[in-house]
Amino acid sequence: MTDDMAAFYLENGWGRKISKDEALTILREGDRDGRIIQIMNSKNGENICSCCMCGCGMLAVKAKFPGPSAKLWSNYYAVVDSSACKMCGKCLERCQFNAISQKDGKITINTEKCLGCGLCVSTCVAKAMSLVRKPDERLYEPPETYDDAMDIWAASHAGQVD
């Protein structure tokens, strides 16, 4: 938690203050463990999450709807340089949104499914994976507050059924 939310947690005894170095260490450990690192998706973001699909209801919900990257949350998606790819399959294992597939001896990425979290990039030993910015017409402009972000996300998925 950061800013006002951090103060709230500290005041209620729900957390402790940490340094920036400790926060970075926690985030690096999360990446190594395969957790998705994401900030609260608003201009006034007050937390940084380090979650996996099995322990985060929000990620599990995002995965149930088509195109988490297309609808909200990220202005990036993963790409692969096929000429550099060693076909080790680590990216397939790390992708929690099943956006990466292997077909005909080639890794492909479904950019509509890709959240843009970068887990595939950080695990690629061949450095064949990277994140690229979405085209301007697909960029997500974060709203002011987290509640506003949730309203936008809910409206974008209204009427969709699993």
Question: In this predicted model, what pLDDT tens digit does every residue of 25-83 receive, in sequence order?
Answer: 998 998 888 888 877 777 777 778 787 777 777 777 777 766 555 555 678 899 999 99
Number of H helices, E strands in the chain: 7, 6
Domains in the chain, number: 2
Residue 59, in any domain of the structure: no
Residues 77, 123 within the same domain: yes
Residue 151, in any domain of the structure: no
Residue 156 has pLDDT above 60, yes or no: yes
Instruction: Report pLDDT digits (tens) over 83-127.
Output: 999 999 999 999 988 899 998 889 999 988 888 889 999 999 999
Cα–Cα distance for residue pair 71/134, rounded to 1 Å: 12
Residues 111, 87 within the same domain: yes
Q: Region 129-148: what's the mean pLDDT?
A: 86
Residue 161 has pLDDT above 50, yes or no: no
In this structure, what are the phi and psi dihedrals at residue 141, rounded to the nearest 5 degrees?
Answer: -100, 110
Residues 40, 70 within the same domain: no
Which pLDDT belongs to residue 82?
92
Which pLDDT belongs to residue 70?
55
| Beta bridge partners of residue 41, listed in sequence order | none
Residue 57, in any domain of the structure: no
What is the domain range of residue 27?
1-51
Residues 74, 44 within the same domain: no
Cα–Cα distance for residue pair 40/11, rounded to 1 Å: 21
Residue 46, in any domain of the structure: yes
Residue 137's Cβ-side half-sphere holds a number of Cα atoms within 13 Å equal to 0
Which CATH number goes with the domain that contains 111?
Answer: 3.30.70.20
Average pLDDT, the chain: 83
